[in-house]
């Protein structure tokens, strides 16, 4: 059975006793326990830090619209199962709960129905983790030279995979200019540095407290804010953290920053494939060639390298074949140039939408990387876009 984690806010004594009696007999762990449902912001803060799989909330004395409560919980945790508990089976409240998006509504006696709901969720989660496409696959995003778009692509690919119900980890290992937190609007106070400083107690509960969420389905580890953190990270510590984290996700995406740093090289040993993001600018192509050569020389298999041509103009002066000859690896995908769209999104404090042209192309890249859809039989030239 999948080992669910549970967060609960139960004020009513009878409901609390019955829920605890039920949970004591099950192999699930309560990681957030709260008794004052009125003190919602404290509960939400703790949920956001611990991110349980299931949230049990006592709505017996909740007087506000339930939609607001559900939205706040989902905002804090992502997509947990929400079980509303109530002292009575009032038809209007049951209907209002279901309309608000609460997964289950339970009332005393709780023991049997609560056990069944949790076991059902646990079985679903086990099935999901054994049938997922990625099953722990990881991609490292490298910018050939500064500003080629590695961070932009890593963040938006993560968002798209999350949207497709994949469980994604997005980790910022760009210790010079990590922008993952900014783009994804993550409020995290923790970073990879906290993980490496606590390797001795790195377990799933500690990890869940460390990651934060800014995008549904995506857990994020932002870059350390403190300058000089690079010196504090040892290669083997970073590999240890990556090795620990990736089996817990369908996909792990890592922003490795620009060029090929020592830390990026070390991390790549733990990462299945490298997405090298370049543009057509001559210095970027020059750097790409160097990086590809260094990786191949160090034994990194050619099949593990995915070359992504970002900010591609509508008309290429050079054919994809010539580029491949020049760089030694084929172009995996091209993403068009669309600065105004990105500028507008960031100015409004959001990420690209899937309806925008650039958003659509990056979504196609995510689908291709995730092997989530058969490639269509479009002409070769256009198939490369996305
Ligand atoms: N396809 C695109 N079209 C237009 N602008 C883009 C595109 N991709 C990225 N950009 C813009 O290019 C700039 C650099 O992008 P980003 O920060 O993702 O690059 P990077 O490779 O991570 O850079 P760094 O080396 O600083 O980490 C940003 O202003 C971003 O909005
Ligand atoms: Mg970057």
Smallest CA-to-CA distance from 324 within 270, 295, 351, 288 is with: 288
Tell me, in angstroms, the distance from the centre of ligand 1 to residue 186's CA: 19
**Domain covering 5-130, topology:** Rossmann fold (3.40.50)
Q: Count the residues in the chain.
A: 386
pLDDT at 251: 94
- Rounded CA gap, 249 and 105, in Å? 29
- The CA–CA distances, whole Å, from 158 to 195, 249, 253, 323 equal 21, 12, 7, 27
Predicted local distance difference test score (pLDDT) of residue 134: 59
CATH number belonging to domain 132-383? 3.40.50.300
- CB proximity list for 263: less than 8 A, separation 6 or greater: 173, 175, 230, 233, 235, 238, 256
Cα of 180 to ligand 2 centre, how many Å?
A: 8
Question: Rg of the Cα trace of the chain?
Answer: 23
Query: Hey, what's the torsion of the CAs at 276, 342, 181, 230, to 10 degrees?
Result: 40
Q: Which atom of ligand 1 is nearest to the CA of 312?
A: 1
CA of 229: how far to CAs of 92, 192, 211, in Å?
55, 10, 18
Question: How much distance in Å is there from the Cα of 225 to the middle of ligand 2?
Answer: 15
Strands (E), 59-167: 81-85, 104-106, 137-143
Q: Give the 3-state secondary structure of residue 131.
A: helix
- Asked if residue 314 lies in contact with residue 347, where contact means CB atoms within 8 angstroms, the answer is no
The best mutation among 140, 144, 147 to test binding of ligand 1, ranked by most ligand atoms within 8 Å of the C-beta, falls on: 147
Give the pLDDT of residue 145.
93
Q: Give me the residue spans of the domains in the chain.
A: 5-130, 132-383
Q: Could you tell me the pTM of the whole model?
A: 0.69
**Ligand 1 interacting residues, C-beta cut-off 6 A:** 143, 146-152, 174, 177, 179, 257-258, 277, 310-311, 335, 337-339, 342, 358
What residues contact residue 372 under an 8 Å CB cut-off, 6+ apart? 133, 161, 164, 166, 366
The dihedral sign for the CA sequence 238, 305, 328, 317 = negative
From 140, 145, 149, 181, mutation site for ligand 1 pocket: most ligand atoms within 8 A of C-beta: 149
Q: What is the pLDDT at residue 360?
A: 93
Probe residue for ligand 1, chosen from 183, 309, 342 as the CB with the greatest number of ligand atoms within 8 Å:
342
Spell out the per-residue pLDDT of the chain, length 386, in tens: 677 889 999 999 999 999 999 999 888 889 889 988 888 999 998 887 777 889 999 999 999 999 999 999 988 877 789 999 999 999 999 999 999 999 999 999 999 999 999 999 988 877 765 555 556 899 999 999 989 999 999 999 999 998 888 889 999 999 887 889 889 888 778 888 899 888 888 888 888 888 988 788 899 998 887 666 666 788 889 988 998 898 889 999 999 999 999 899 999 988 999 999 999 999 999 999 999 999 999 888 899 999 999 999 988 888 889 999 999 999 999 999 999 999 999 888 889 988 889 999 999 999 999 988 643 444 334 344 55
Nearest CA to ligand 1 atom 4: 339
**CA 223 / ligand 2 centre spacing (Å):** 11
Of all ligands present, the nearest one to the C-alpha of 147 is 1
Ligand 1 centroid–CA 243 distance in Å is 28
Say how far apart CA 195 and CA 200 lie, in whole Å. Answer: 9
């Amino acid at each position: 059975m999948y080992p669910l984690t549970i967060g609960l806010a139960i004020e009513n004594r009878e409901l609390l006793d019955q829920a605890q009696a039920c949970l004591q007999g099950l192999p699930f762990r309560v990681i957030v326990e709260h008794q004052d449902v009125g003190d919602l912001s404290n509960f939400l803060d703790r949920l956001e830090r611990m991110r349980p799989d299931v949230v049990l909330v006592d709505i017996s004395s909740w007087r506000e619209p339930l939609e607001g409560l559900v939205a706040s919980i989902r905002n804090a945790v992502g997509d947990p199962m929400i079980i509303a508990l109530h002292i009575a089976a009032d038809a209007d409240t049951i209907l209002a709960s279901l309309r608000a998006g609460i997964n289950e509504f339970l009332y005393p006696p709780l023991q049997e129905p609560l056990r069944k709901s949790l076991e059902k969720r646990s079985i679903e989660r086990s099935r999901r983790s054994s049938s997922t496409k990625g099953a722990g696959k990881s991609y490292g995003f490298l910018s050939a030279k500064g500003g080629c778009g590695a961070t932009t692509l890593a963040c938006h690919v993560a968002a798209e995979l999350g949207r497709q119900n994949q469980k994604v980890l997005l980790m910022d290992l760009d210790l010079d200019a990590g922008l993952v937190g900014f783009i994804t609007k993550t409020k995290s106070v923790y970073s990879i540095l906290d993980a490496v400083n606590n390797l001795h107690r790195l377990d799933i509960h500690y990890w869940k407290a460390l990651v934060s969420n800014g995008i549904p389905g995506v857990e994020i580890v932002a870059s350390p804010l403190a300058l000089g953190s690079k010196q504090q990270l040892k290669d083997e510590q970073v590999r240890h953290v990556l090795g620990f984290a990736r089996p817990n996700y369908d996909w792990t995406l890592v922003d490795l920053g620009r060029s090929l740093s020592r830390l990026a090289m070390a991390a790549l040993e733990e990462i299945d494939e490298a997405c090298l993001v370049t543009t057509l600018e001559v210095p970027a192509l020059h750097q790409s060639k160097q990086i590809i050569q260094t990786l191949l020389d160090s034994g990194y298999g050619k099949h593990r390298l995915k070359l992504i041509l970002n900010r591609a103009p509508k008309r290429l002066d050079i054919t994809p074949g010539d580029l491949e000859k020049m760089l030694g690896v084929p172009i995996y995908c091209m993403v068009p140039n669309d600065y105004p769209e990105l500028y507008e999104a960031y100015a409004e404090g959001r990420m690209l939408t899937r309806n925008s042209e650039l958003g659509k192309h990056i979504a196609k890249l995510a689908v291709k990387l995730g092997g989530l859809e058969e490639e269509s039989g479009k002409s070769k030239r256009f198939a490369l876009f996305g």
